[in-house]
Amino acid sequence: MDVNLYALLTYALTAAISLLVIAVIVVINKLMNRSKSKDSE
């Protein structure tokens, strides 16, 4: 396998994982905000 291709694949994989982690954090944050707003009412 070409070194540049391997570097590109690992970079893309790292970017995908980081976006996935950010998406999970955003979803958890929205769920926490919903539960807090229900509790305050």
For residues 33 and 41, what is the distance between their CA atoms, to the nearest angstrom?
13
| Cα-only R_g, the chain | 18
Its sign, for the CA torsion 5, 6, 10, 16, is: positive
Structural domain range at position 10: 1-41
pLDDT per position in the chain (41 positions), as tens? 799 999 999 999 999 999 999 999 999 999 998 887 766 55
Total domains, the chain: 1
pTM for the full model?
A: 0.67
